[in-house]
Amino acid sequence: MGDQSGFLKTGRKKTFYRPVCERILDNKEISFPRDTDISEEQASRCMDCGTPFCHWGCPIGNYIPEWNDALYQKQWTRAVDLLHACNNLPEMTGRLCPAPCEYSCVLEINDDPVTIRENELDIIEHAFETGYIKPAPPLKRTGKNIAIIGSGPAGLSCADQLNRAGHTVKIYEKDDKAGGMLRYGIPDFKLEKRLIDRRLDLYIKEGIELVTGVTAGIDVKAEDLLDGFDAVCLAGGAREPWDLMIEGRELNGIYFAMDYLVQSNRRTAGEKIRSEELIDAKGKRVVVIGGGDTGSDCVGTAHRQGASCIVQIELLPKPHEKRNENYPWPLYPMILKTTTSHEEGGEREWSVSTRKFIGREGHVRQLSCVRLDESFREISGSAFTIDADIVFLALGFLGPDHNGIIEDLLISCDERGNVLTGSDFMTSSKKVFCAGDMRRGQSLIVWAISEGRKAAYFIDLFLMGRTNLPFI
């Protein structure tokens, strides 16, 4: 490394965010970009470890020490080339990934880890800003045609890899714009959609065809996919939500979190929503059930819509604020996560079970709740109510929608309802592969990218008998 004692001389610099009072008034990105000299200085903290555990913690095996060294040496173009070697969407992961690599950083043992995620983001944004990123279509084509179903991070990564290998790739997306959960599930204050369009424009210029507004299994039949393509990859995600079937569930004002976030993203993009379909938190008492990232995104969105108050409740106990014996380094620790949305206001409650929804004139007005002990037993005498005008269910996801392409192709699924594949990512239907949440269940963006890249490896191997694509 350029400075082998950089970690001794330089401390970790925190992300700079726009003031809360300012950022909740719009849906623009909440963080400030870093100066290049700060990024170079932060990269000097990377320690040239004998065994870099950041690799172990990263599902795509990012060349983290290598591009940190290049960044410190001011070799920005080398840094982005190293970054792109393992990551097809670094501008997305640099904003959205929870950075398991940082929790596996050797510095994390007794100090603050390297700002890996921010360094990654600075590298790719610098490359775009300086015009270094340009379309690079393959020099020759193989004559093989591949259909990708779904344009989320798994589908896009798979398509990019296969296009680089010289195959002709066509992506089918059921929504009216490509991007999948990146576009419709992530609020703009975390990921502005111009960034997705910037990457998609690059892919189109490199020869990837994008077809939107088409549902596989309905608008394009399964037999047409099998007859018209040499291989098919299913990367449609896992959007079927968990429900909470308790008394009062039929009341108006109770919504799935993803329905709320999708509509909010459409509104931010300028789409008009019919008044009878509008889900708006303005002036309302909001309760979010579920303590994960989707619930946090609902909190941030409700802040921006002008909710009068927000309460987020979670069934699980409050996590520890620091690592404990159950999560030693380099494991990713289940510790308390306070997001930027939480910092903007609202209350959080843990170990709370919702017994029933209470309504008036057909609309939800309260939640009847009870507190739980560490064994998830109800604590006697702990019953209480929470006032609510609108409730969002952010309880996780069951798996992919089985109606349509999965059903039509007679594809086998596992006991959880996810698409079942072999180690080669091929489904029970020959030449049909699967990647991402549809295969492994709802997970992180970095896992989706990893899945897409691995599926591309096996698809190329299946079609050509050999492959030069990387396995990770």
- Concatenating the DSSP letter of every residue in 185-223 gives TS-TTTS-HHHHHHHHHHHHHTT-EEEES--BTTTB-HH
SS3 for 129? helix
- Per DSSP, the residues of 387-436 read E-SEEEE---EEE---TTHHHHTT--B-TTSPBP--TTSB-SSTTEEE-T
Which position has the token pair 């209470």?
358
Domain end residue (candidates: 73, 95, 129): 129
Quick one: 378 and 267 in the same domain? yes
Which structural domain range is residue 27 located in? Answer: 6-129
Total of domains in the chain = 3
For the CA atoms of the chain, what is the radius of gyration? 23
Q: Are residues 228 and 259 in the same domain?
A: no
- Final residue belonging to a domain, choices 345, 372, 395: 395
Same domain, 89 and 209: no
Distance from C-alpha of 101 to C-alpha of 57, rounded to nearest angstrom: 5
What separation, in Å, do the N-terminal and C-terminal C-alpha atoms of the chain show?
24
Q: Which residues contact 138 (CB under 8 A, 6 or more apart)?
A: 163, 164, 165, 166, 206, 207
The runs of H, that is alpha helices, within 60-191 are: 64-72, 76-84, 90-96, 100-103, 116-129, 153-164, 181-184
Q: Is residue 135 part of a domain?
A: no
Which residues are registered as beta bridge partners of 385? Answer: 368
Q: Which residues pair with 313 in a beta bridge?
A: 289, 349
Distance CA 467, CA 165 (A): 8
Residues 325 and 408 in one domain: no
**21 class by beta-carbon count within 10 Å (0-12 exposed, 13-18 middle, 19+ buried):** exposed
Give me the tens of pLDDT residue by residue for the chain, a chain 472 residues long: 567 888 999 999 989 999 999 999 999 999 999 999 999 999 999 988 888 999 899 999 999 999 999 999 999 999 999 999 999 999 999 999 999 999 999 999 999 999 999 999 999 999 999 999 999 999 999 999 999 999 999 999 999 999 999 999 999 999 999 999 999 999 999 999 999 999 999 999 999 999 999 999 999 999 999 999 999 999 999 989 999 999 999 999 999 999 999 999 999 999 999 999 999 999 999 999 999 999 999 999 999 999 999 999 999 999 999 999 999 999 999 999 999 999 999 999 999 999 999 999 999 999 999 999 999 999 999 999 999 999 999 999 999 988 889 999 999 999 999 999 999 999 999 999 999 999 999 999 999 999 999 999 999 999 999 999 998 8
Q: 366: alpha, beta or left, given left = phi > 0 and alpha = psi -120 to 50?
A: beta
Q: Is the domain of 404 the same as that of 382? A: no
For the record, the structure tokens of 73 come out as 């040496």
Domain membership of residue 84 (yes or no) is yes
My answer on whether 307 and 442 are in the same domain is no
Q: In this structure, are 109 and 26 located in the same domain? A: yes
**Which amino acid would we find at residue 249?**
R
CATH number, domain of 74, equals 1.10.1060.10
Residues 389 and 423 in one domain: no
pLDDT at 81: 98
pLDDT of residue 1: 58
Strand pairing of 240-241 and 397-399?
A: antiparallel
Q: Is residue 469 a part of any domain in this protein?
A: no
**Residue 357 and residue 267 share a domain:** yes
From 112, 11, 124, select the one nearest 62 (Cα to Cα).
124
Asked if the structure places residue 136 within a domain, the reply is no
Given this model, what pLDDT does residue 2 score? 61
Instruction: Give buried/exposed letters for 333-364 (b at 16+ CB in 10 A, else e).
Output: beeeeeebbbebebebbbbbbbeebbbeeeeb
Residue 222 sits in the same domain as residue 362? no
CATH number of the domain that residue 192 is part of: 3.50.50.60
Same-domain status, 345 and 234:
no
Same domain for 293 and 197, yes or no, is: no
Strand partners, 369: 354, 384
Structural tokens at position 326: 């159950």
User: Is residue 472 included in any domain, yes or no?
Assistant: no
Report how far residue 108's alpha carbon sits from residue 347's, in angstroms, rounded to the nearest whole number: 30
SS3 assignment, position 446? helix
Residues in the chain: 472
* Residue 470 belongs to some domain of the structure: no
Provide CB contacts within 8 A for 221, sequence distance 6+: 408
Do residues 161 and 456 make contact, with C-beta atoms less than 8 angstroms apart? yes
CA distance 317 to 428: 40
Closest CA to 124 of 70, 156, 81, 164: 81
In whole angstroms, what is the distance from residue 401 CA to residue 361 CA?
A: 34
447 close to 97: Cβ distance less than 8 angstroms: no
Measured at the CA of 419, the angle between CA 146 and CA 443, to 5 degrees, comes to: 95
311 Cβ contact list (under 8 Å, min separation 6): 285, 286, 287, 288, 346, 347, 348, 349, 386, 388
Tell me the sheet residues that pair with 133: none
H or E segment to which residue 347 belongs: strand 347-349
Helical segments of 109-255, H only = 116-129, 153-164, 181-184, 193-205, 222-228
In a domain, 138, yes or no: no
Residues 6+ apart with CB under 8 A from 359: 248, 251, 252, 365
